Amino acid sequence: MIKKLSLALYLFVPVLLFAQTKNGLGTWKVHLPYWQNKTVAALGRTVFVGSPSSLFSYNEEEKELNRISKINGLSDVEIKLLRSNQSNNLLFIVYENGNIDLYQNEEITNMPQILQRTVIGKKAVNDVTFYNGKAYLACSFGIVVIDVNKKQITDSYQNIGKNGVNIEVTDIAILNNTIYASTLNGIYSAQLNSGNLSDFNFWTFFKSSFKSNKIEAFNNILFAEIDSSLYKFENNTWTNLNDSDLNNPLDLVICNNKLVITSVNNVSVIDKNNQTTKTGKRLKNAAVLLPNDRFACVDNFSGIHLFPGGEFNGSDFIYPNGPYNKITTDFKFINNKLFAAGGYAPFYNEGFNQNGIYVYENNVWRNTRRDFNGEIFTPDSIVDMLNLAYDNLNEKIYAASYGKGLIKMNSLGKLEATYNKKNSILQDAFEGSCRVAGLAFDNENNLWFSNHSSGQPVCVLKTDGNIQCFSIGNVFGGSNYISNMAIDDENHKWFAHSRDGGLLVYNHGTDINNAGDDAYKVLTKDIGNGALASNQVNCLVKDKKGEIWVGTNAGLSIFSSPELIFSGSENSFDSRQIVIQTGLVFSNFLGGENINCITVDGANRKWIGTNNGAWLVSSDGYTVLQNFTTKNSPILDNTILSIGINNNTGEVFFGTLKGMNSFMSDATEATADFGVIDIYPNPVKPSFIGDISIKGLAENVNVKITDINGNLVSETTSNGGFATWNGKNFAGTRVPSGVYLVFAANREGSKSMVGKLLFIN
């Protein structure tokens, strides 16, 4: 498949910000970290940089910085390797899963054959070598040959090891019509004009009984990493270069008729005269030389590191703006800013993250881990911020740290206080690990939270500043692994048990300070005691009707009468599942799905994140409005860890296992009155195809569109504070050029608004 790459070009500015234009309804963005990178390549003076989460380019001459993603042409995510062929103006983009994109003249051609092929063991491309119009791919299962002009696989050599065993090829070099393949147990060689390179008999051990990850042919000399040292093969003799700055090479690449060697200790070049020059740059992952002999390096700290060739002084550090890390576990929209917690997913072994919080405002990310001016808002000691809550009265942000307790910050996200075993009655799960995993404010502005694995796991930070914790007896056999939580309209506290224990519902009674009138109940999958879809509860949320929606590892459970938990009879408060009929078959909607998160939008619709994509359903759950997966959308991964909504714009953010996307949706948070009305696009030009957005409406209002003479053209109802119009009349045809009036009024007719919209056809 060939795609035309669509890049929006942006002028680079010193503070590394990246402006983004106003997006229309249904459009997507990526929000990824760009400062940690592992591979780099160049076509002319354009540098391409790849990492396990992102790809971007920078034109060193024009100072143009571009994000490149699935939104504008890529077929996949998680870049493993970039290699460029200057003679063909061709860039190989190799992904961790073996998928390949070829970028040439602003077009992308996908080559998924390695990804799709059936092989025993892993499928990976370790390196790419260009020779005589062909690309030789060093793969985990052998060698694949691609005709770079036809963009077709022309051959593959497998089972080339001794006696025909399958071996992993780590790199390839070609010199004097001989192909050399480095492996983890030696270097194999064969003549390119041999009769059949798929036959292991044509391959011989060139140098055996050692490990080699890198090999390159330069200046009629073979250079190879052998057991972590760099050797050269010249005049039929292997010579150890005996230079610690060249040992453990991470990358060998030829640029500008020079061999660029990137090692842990240095970035060095060997020229045609066999002279070695060292830059003194350490801890780089890869490096290339540009046509002007400037180095472009990447590392785990600074995006692209550009510095002058030959002088090796002065430098530029360049990368697009983005969040600090690809993992996001919770979102909160606060004071026109979106706050994202950079915690971790416990079930995916991503713990001990020092990510802090990412703050999104006016299309720019600020990271509390390190602010624009270098000030650190969140110290390294604060790890794994899982969930967020906001104190509207005092303008404070609280975070649940799965290791450092309860975190208090100001409205900018700067640390003000921590609460843990050292300074409060909170308890450690084990020595030095105070785990707070869920938190929410009640209707009296007390902050309730879970002290995971504690003997008194239900805790509250009261309005007087004191923390009080409560025992729940032995209901979980002492395994008080309670985590995420929600508070219902009766002020009952609902806690998820993170290890197959169901739900804990806690009622603090009439007096928060008197534990004697408290009550609690454990809900499970048993009929008459909750009827959960599963005892493994991952998430829960209260919707705008007061229902509690619960996500388990086996589907949804909805408590329509949470007020009956302590006062109702058996079965009166049991949860329900959404039963749908397909033909003669009845089934539970999302039954069997692992549900990681549920978020309620301004129209009371539910955004549901699973391990198989994201779903948008109607307020009652019976109508599927959207379903996003990696196959039908630019979403980065099907495992959705968190979902957040910008209540003003309707933009929905998806925190996936491989990074963050956002989607411009059609529901915003509504108010009782109209806000500032925004109609976009306006004017509507002939090239525009899609829905017109009408924002700033009151909740659930009727919207009428008329021509300038008052003739009704179309009619709709707002979702929350947001309505859309497809630009067509009742007959389903696009309206002609002219001025159109947009009328909206609440059901009582006491509040109304009018706006104007210009159509140009």
DSSP characters for 32-86?
Answer: ---S---EEEEETTEEEEE-SS-EEEEETTTTEEEEESGGGT-S---EEEEEEEG
Q: Evaluate whether residue 254 is within a structural domain.
A: no
The number of CA neighbours under 13 Å toward the Cβ of 271 is 8
**Residue 101 β-bridge partners:** 93, 110
- Beta sheet of 152-158, edge-to-edge order: 125-131, 134-139, 142-147, 152-158
Among residues 254, 181, 167, the alpha carbon closest in space to that of 219 is found at: 254
d(CA 114, CA 129): 17
The number of CA neighbours under 13 Å toward the Cβ of 509 is 11
The residues near 118 (Cβ < 8 Å, ≥ 6 apart) are none
Encoding tokens for residue 458?
Answer: 């239900």
CATH number at residue 727: 2.60.40.4070
Query: Domain end: 272, 307, 322, which one?
Result: 322
Query: Domain end: 322, 339, 373, which one?
Result: 322
d(CA 468, CA 453): 16
Task: Give pLDDT, residue 655.
Answer: 97
Helices and strands of the chain, counted as H and E runs:
1, 66
The residues of the chain scoring below 50 in pLDDT are 7-22, 309-313
Query: Domain end: 322, 343, 368, which one?
Result: 322
Among residues 397, 418, 391, the alpha carbon closest in space to that of 409 is found at: 397
Angle at 541 between CA 655 and CA 476, to 5 degrees: 100
Q: Evaluate whether residue 55 is within a structural domain.
A: yes
d(CA 496, CA 702): 39
pTM for this predicted structure? 0.88
Q: Are 388 and 397 in contact (CB under 8 A)?
A: yes
The SS3 call for residue 354 is: coil
Encoding tokens for residue 33?
Answer: 């970290």
Encoding tokens for residue 641?
Answer: 């860890």
Encoding tokens for residue 25?
Answer: 């309804």
The residues near 423 (Cβ < 8 Å, ≥ 6 apart) are none
Range of the domain at 297: 1-112+290-322
Among residues 698, 634, 704, 694, the alpha carbon closest in space to that of 671 is found at: 698
* Residue type, position 67, single letter: R
Q: How far is CA 105 from CA 74, 111, 151, 291, in A?
A: 14, 17, 14, 19
Task: Give pLDDT, residue 688.
Answer: 87
Q: Are 331 and 342 in contact (CB under 8 A)?
A: no
d(CA 581, CA 589): 9
- In angstroms, how far is CA 323 from the centroid of its own chain? 10
Task: Give pLDDT, residue 232.
Answer: 95
Encoding tokens for residue 78?
Answer: 């998680």
Task: Give pLDDT, residue 308.
Answer: 78
Task: Give pLDDT, residue 670.
Answer: 66
pLDDT tens for each residue of 46-99: 999 999 888 999 998 899 999 999 998 999 999 999 999 999 999 999 999 999
The residues near 622 (Cβ < 8 Å, ≥ 6 apart) are 578, 580, 589
Task: Give pLDDT, residue 369.
Answer: 79
Task: Give pLDDT, residue 699.
Answer: 74
Number of domain units in the chain: 2
The residues near 94 (Cβ < 8 Å, ≥ 6 apart) are 79, 80, 81, 82, 83, 100, 125, 128
Encoding tokens for residue 253?
Answer: 């690449």
d(CA 151, CA 68): 21
Encoding tokens for residue 714?
Answer: 């179309």
d(CA 693, CA 685): 14
Q: Evaluate whether residue 40 is within a structural domain.
A: yes
